[in-house]
Chain A
Amino acid sequence: MANTLIGQNYSTPDLVAKVTGQAKYAEDYRVDGMLFCKLLLSPMPHARVKRIDASKALAMPGVKAVLTADELPAPADVVTDLGQRIAANTKGEKALSNEPVYQGEPVLAVAAVDELTAADALEKIDIEFEPLPFAVDPVKSLLPGGSNARLEGNIWGKPKPPTPGQPVSPPAIEELRWSDAEAAEYAQGRLPMGKTPDEWTLGDLDAGFKTAALVLDETFVTPNTSHQTLEPRTAMAYWQNGKLYIHCSTQSTVQTVGSFSRWLHLDQKDIVVVSAYTGGGFGSKATGTITAIIPALLSKKLNGVPVMMRIDRETEHGIGGARPSLHGRIKAGFAKDGKITALDMFVVCENGPYEPVGDTAQSGRIVSLLYQPPAMRWRGVAVLTNTPPRRAQSQPGGMQGITLMEPLLAKAARKLGIDQVAIRRINAPEGKAKFGPANARGQRGYATSAFIKEALDRGSEMFRWEARKAQGGKRQGSKVRGYGVSVSTFVAGSVGYDGLFVIKPDGRMAIQSGIGNLGTESMSDCHRVSAELVGMPWEKVDLTWGNTGKNLPWSCVSGGSQTTHAHTRAAHAAGMDAVKKLQEIAAKVHGGRPEQYTVANERVSGPGGSMTLAQAAQKAIELGGKYDGHELPENINAFTKTSASALAGQGLMGVARDAYPHDGATHSFVAGFAEVEVDVETGKYHILDYLAVADVGTIIHPAALGGQVLGRSMLGIGHAIGQHWVYDQHYGLAVAKRFYQNKPPTILDAPQKMAWDALNIPDPETPVGARGIGEPPVAAGCCAVLNAIADALGDDVFKRAPVMVGTLMAALDAGHAVQEPLTAHI
């Protein structure tokens, strides 16, 4: 490719609307006659609704309807893209519940002519709750005498192996209690390595420990952190001619249709999702949120009248979800040169009350990739608690696994007298590095490529690591500086989605984007690949996005850093499809063979002559068939077929499924470097400098990439410096629910100096070479800062994240960590 667009900065087509206030987020839509709904939230961590009498509320002037849990559609089976059916999890999250399992869970909803009336109506609802036993501390729930978060038990059991021809059954809730011996170990401040439902082993662990020159055994706790998207998950819905129109806050556009189809038992063709702008997701709005069906169901009860459900900040704290904390313990053996010889990893994941999160298992998989232990055992249990639902948050599970590992690795380097960069380099993955346990056929998964060593080298040089590290721990007055480095990785791409565009006779290119617009700019960036391939200047591209009624192609979930990889591939496939069609048209018009023609600079030219893209588009309409979309490729998704058929006849159509080969599992990598300054008299610390170097393949849009790298680094830094939940353990109630209590970093918490770079080494397993970046900066940011604090003050100052000023003060006074090591939410 000529690379006039790829790798260049440009203004995304949504930016002016954003900066002039004209961009419409879900709450900005208004329709004549629109009603408002308010939610009645559970005041208790676990309760049973014994009685609801809504008659007084319904008798109020202006109150239109009440919706209860009894009126919800039953949970439906999930059918994957591959046609695999997964049986419904009847114990999963619902939009409304008669057995609320966390404080703040919606119990019923009222629709009224305005919000004040709806709020007044909630006061008139006569409702009786029966309190039920609850648990807000996952490890305590496992100890003798612990309570269960759910009536059926306290953990998610291991899923049953699938029976051929039968739907995959969901995991079941089980009860697990550890012994008195484990309780005694807990009392010593160590995470007991008790029974777990899930484990895997790789290599010879015992032999690895026997040959080790150093063995460390560390317990560490990572925080629960709310996503706190600045836009709460507001939704507005109405029905017209049997179709549901829903304006909602979701990360994905096309993929959100499937969620509503499942939640409401509707055919996908009867759902239009409108979400042109989403105010942040970070994983929590991957394909929408189930509470968004509430206005849809209220609207249905009221003959389709529009209903707006405006979510306020306190409600968002509950339904918005959070990253699950991991209580972890790692025993690791090291050779003299710092190479890991054996790794025994044990995690207790605080799962929240609903579906089992992927974080538990992902923690082990990611640690095995990033540090390449030759022998490893991973054991884990997801414990149910009566706290808000856990949802994927940037680098889910990987972030927590790396955060358990990094402080231990830093300590090992200090004990062995090895440089911090060197110990990470010697354990780093390379090329098609393997990860995780072997499958039944004895095969292990492997990365498509890994250049983390190069990222460490580039970062060391840019950060002047060698020159600066000697200053670590040296006191000047009351100030001590510390230097930390961390590596990180996460999955970064999927395959198999579609691209769709039309080059029109006016010489413009209409690109259809099914990617969600959550701020990453991938909904625009990816499509520059198509424009580049057909030689179209970006100024002549019209991008359509954000409304599934507008003929969008089948697109991936905008989550898990899939999109840049998945949709540069799909855009490449559609672009190449158009190039081939253009060559064929030129050969038909001017003679010669198609491959003798080249496409560039808005023209297709060859030995017989040259024509503009506009002329070729006109010719495509005349030729019909595949050229203008009347005949479509067999392998594209049914969703794309419908969209493409609607656009047929308007010009030359580029439409294709990404069927490019792909060997391995795509991962991106980041190396982070931090400098902190701690005041040992006050415990206050500042991050002076932060650098992240990313291995994300080919750079598509530098400004957007830099924003992702440093923005996600800051999200991680928030986990290190102060963001966490606090619970009233006695009543099971959250006490840190708002921004000022559970504070994300502000602009003043950002390091005074921040910089980023990317290696720009193409991934060999994808045609454009680009991978995703949203996830891996998170752990790198968090752990580089944690390691810098330990470098300044020494090991054993903190045993959990975040590291608060009070933690440091107490530890500096006592000379060792004085935190309660394992209690949750303190």
Chain B
Amino acid sequence: MTDLLQLLFAGLSQGAVYALVAIGFVAIFTVSGVINLAQGEFAALAGLVAISAVGSGLPLLAAVVLAVLSVALVAVIMERLVIFPVKRMTTLVSLILTLGVSTGLKALMLLVYGPNAEGLTPLTPGSFSLGGVSIRYQELWILLIAGVVSLAVYWFYERTLAGKSLRACAEQPVAARLVGISLTKASLLSFLIAGTVGAIAGVLASPIYFTSWESGLTLGLKGFVAATLGGLISVRGAVLGGLLLGVLETLTAGYISTGLRDAVAFLLLIIVLVARPAGIFGRTAEARV
């Protein structure tokens, strides 16, 4: 029982990271239909920037803010340089473009920060025990901050004018343009959101899961799986999908084999896509067509 609780807790905190990455996928996909393969790199880059800033003597909080801001800037630059100039964005083109950015960012991180994986200093070091379950303070921070950020994003989409216009762009691009919403601005804003939540995921995860130049690959893939579980167009779905994936992964690692941990996401993706293709695909199709 304690084992199970331990695994569940670890899974939730891992899943909260996936959830944030997944929100990034959803933010961009709903507006422009682009699956941003560099989403995982946003997180990795934020982790590495924060680590190196702390290493050069900056206080932890300042380093975190610096990391989030610089990654948000990278995301915005990416949108302007790579997404904006393309007039006819097909799935194939968008995948190759964002893959190019992802690969370039990866190599840049390797050049600048070297090949080793490192962990950021935790916000609060140490751990405590609750009913036999060992809990790290950082894991609590992850859950807390991921929860606050998710709620903030949700509130943004549901309650603010800017958020509503983003949703309008996703559901009725032509009608949105007719009432004066700029699709280019919406696309830029969606990348800003994706970069910010991705970066937050990266700095939160780094103290526990470590960060290296290539850690964005699996993180990105799992974020996508989480987003897909939630239907790819829903923030709430992305959060639930992330938590579910995190828990299933730690349970697999705990009860079956650590090696199979990375296989879970992929199997889950196939099962969900095969079992509910109409449900998932149907909803996204209605928003796009």
Chain B binds chain A: no
